[in-house]
Amino acid sequence: MELTRRRRRLLTVHHWLFVVLLVALTALLAFLAHEYRFQRDLTHANRNTLSAATLEVLKQLDGPVNITAFAMAQTVRGQDVHKWIREMLRTYQRAKPDLALTIVDPREDPKAALAAGVQTTNELLIEYRKRSERLSVADISNEQAVANALMRLARGGERLVLWLDGHGERRLNGIANHDLGEFGRQLQLKGFRLSSVNLALAQEVPANAALLVVASPQVDLLPAEVDKIRRHLAGSGNLLWLIEPGPLRGMQPIAEILGLVLTPGIVVDPEASRFNTSPTIAVGATYGRHAITNVLSKNTFFPAARQIGTTENEEWRVTPLVEVAQRGWVETGKLDGNISFDKNRDFAGPVNVATALERTVGDRNHRVVVVGTGEFLANAYLGNLGNLDLGVNIMNWLTGDDRMITIQPRPAPDSNLDIEPFRFYSIAFTFLLALPLAFTITGAVIWWRRR
C-alpha cells in the first residue's frame, strides 16, 4: 500500500489524538483516585482495619475531633515520624472526616508545646468539646489505647463507681487473685472513676455515685449499713451485687426488695470438661435478649456459681442474662469424690446465674444486676473468654451508657512468623541464593546460545 502525503497526515493526526486521549484518560484516573478511595485489608486478622467497636465509638463523637501530635520530624535512625503519624491516623480520618490532625515539632515551635502543656517530645493531644485526652505517640499503633481515649471523651465525664468495703469484699483495686483489681484498671481506662465506701463510717451512699458494687462480703453487714443500701435503692441508686454461694451476710432484706429466689448449692457443669477445667466452673454460652448481652458472642466462665432466680414482680422488669449447665445441675451436697446428680436433692439445669432488673422511677431508669459469683471478674479468671466483655457491658448498662461497648485488643496472628532455625535457613538459602543463581545461569546459557 502506497504511503501518500495525505495518509501520513492522517496517521500523524491519529497518533496525536491517541496521545491526547491517553493524557485525558490519565488525568481522569488521577482525579477519580484523588476523589474516591477504595481500600481492602488482606491481612488474616484485619489488623489494618478499625474494629466495629472503634467505629461505633467514632460515630458517637457527633462533633469535630482535633488531634495535635507533638513529635520530632525524624528519629535518630532517620525514620519520618510525621509521615508515620499521618498513615496511622488515616484510617480514623476515613471513618470520621471531621477528625483533624495537626503535627507540631516541639523543637521548631516550643511556644505551642508549652501552651499545650506538653511534657514529652512525643505526645498526642485529643480534644473534643472542650475535653481532652493525652496519649504517647507510640500508642497510635495500639487501637485499644486510642479507642479507650475516644471512649472516655464520648462518655462526657467520669462515672463514679463505689465498691462496698469493710467486710472482706473483693476490692476493685486489689492485687490478690480473688480481688477485682485488673477489672478496676480496665474500667479506669474506659473513663470510670473508682473509690471505696465504708458504710459503717459514711452517713449515706454518696449521691454522686453512678453505681454501688457489693462484691461478696465475708462478714455480716450491720443493720444500719443495710438500711443505707436500702435507701440507696429507694433513691434509684444503681447496684451491682455479686453473690457467692452461702449466707447473704445480712443482705437478705435487699434480696427481698429485688424479689430474688436464691437456692442453695453450687452449679455443676459437665461442659467444663471441654475446656479441661473443673466441673464447678460453669460455661456460659446462652444469653438473654438484653442490651448487656446482645453484642456478646464469646463464651464466659462462672466459677463456683449459684443459681439466681426471681419471683413474679410487677415493680421490676426482670431479664435473665446468662444460662449455664444445659446438661448440668445445682449440687446441694458435698463437692468431693465423684460428683453426680441426685434427683431427690439437686436442681437440674439449665441454670440462670445472672439477672438484670430495671424499673422506671419518675424520669429515671433504676437498674440492678445480680450475678451468682464474684469469681468471674476476679484477677484469676478475668482473662478467660468473654468475662471482661460481659463485665464492662454490665457496668456500661448500669451507669446509663447503653451504647458504650467493650473494646478489646484483637489478635493479629499474621503479624509474627515463628519458624524453626533449619527451615528459616533453608528458605533463606533457596530464595536469596539458589533461585537468583539459577536464574542467572539460565539467562547466561540462553544469551550464549542466541549469540
In whole angstroms, what is the distance from residue 189 CA to residue 186 CA? 5
Instruction: Give 126-171 pLDDT, tens digit per residue.
Output: 998 888 888 888 888 888 888 888 888 887 667 899 999 999 999 9
113 and 245 belong to one structural domain: no
The domain boundary residue, chosen from 398, 415, 439: 398
H helix intervals, 131-175: 143-155
Cβ neighbourhood burial of 221 (10 Å; 0-12, 13-18, 19+) = buried
Outline where DSSP puts E strands in 237-350.
239-242, 260-261, 266-268, 281-284, 286-287, 300-303, 309-310, 317-324, 329-331, 347-348
Q: What is the pLDDT of residues 366-384, one digit of tens each?
A: 999 999 999 999 999 888 8
Check residue 338 and give its pLDDT: 77
**Contact indicator for 417, 428 with CB cutoff of 8 Å:** no
Residue 19 maps to a domain: no
Shared domain check, 202 and 123: no
Under 8 Å between Cβ of 173 and 184:
yes
Q: Are residues 271 and 202 in the same domain?
A: yes
pLDDT value of position 418: 62
172 and 283 within one domain: yes
Q: Which residue has the higher pLDDT, 416 or 41?
A: 41
Same domain, 184 and 305: yes
The per-residue pLDDT for range 262-321, each reduced to its tens digit, is 988 999 988 888 888 888 889 898 999 998 998 888 889 999 999 999 988 888 999 999
Whether the predicted pLDDT of 411 surpasses 50:
no
| Whether residue 125 is found in the same domain as residue 173 | no
Whether residues 337 and 267 fall in one domain: yes
Mean pLDDT of the region 53-58: 82
Check whether residue 194 and residue 327 sit in a common domain: yes
The Cα–Cα gap between 91 and 114 comes to 29
Structural domains of the chain, count: 2
Read off the CATH number of the domain in which 106 is found: 3.40.30.10
Is position 393 within any domain? Answer: yes
Q: Does residue 355 share a domain with residue 207?
A: yes
Pair (218, 355) in one structural domain: yes
C-alpha cell at 41: 485489608
Whether the per-residue pLDDT at 402 is higher than 80: the answer is no
Look up the domain containing 86 and give its range: 52-153
**Has residue 357 got a pLDDT over 60?**
yes
Per-residue model confidence as pLDDT tens digits over 71-114: 888 877 778 889 899 988 988 898 899 999 999 888 888 888 88
Residue 20 lies in a domain: no
Among residues 128, 153, 178, the one where a domain terminates is 153
Find, among 351, 284, 274, 359, the residue nearest to 316 by Cα.
359
Q: Per the confidence metrics, is the pTM higher than 0.95?
A: no
CATH assignment of the domain containing 335: 3.40.50.880
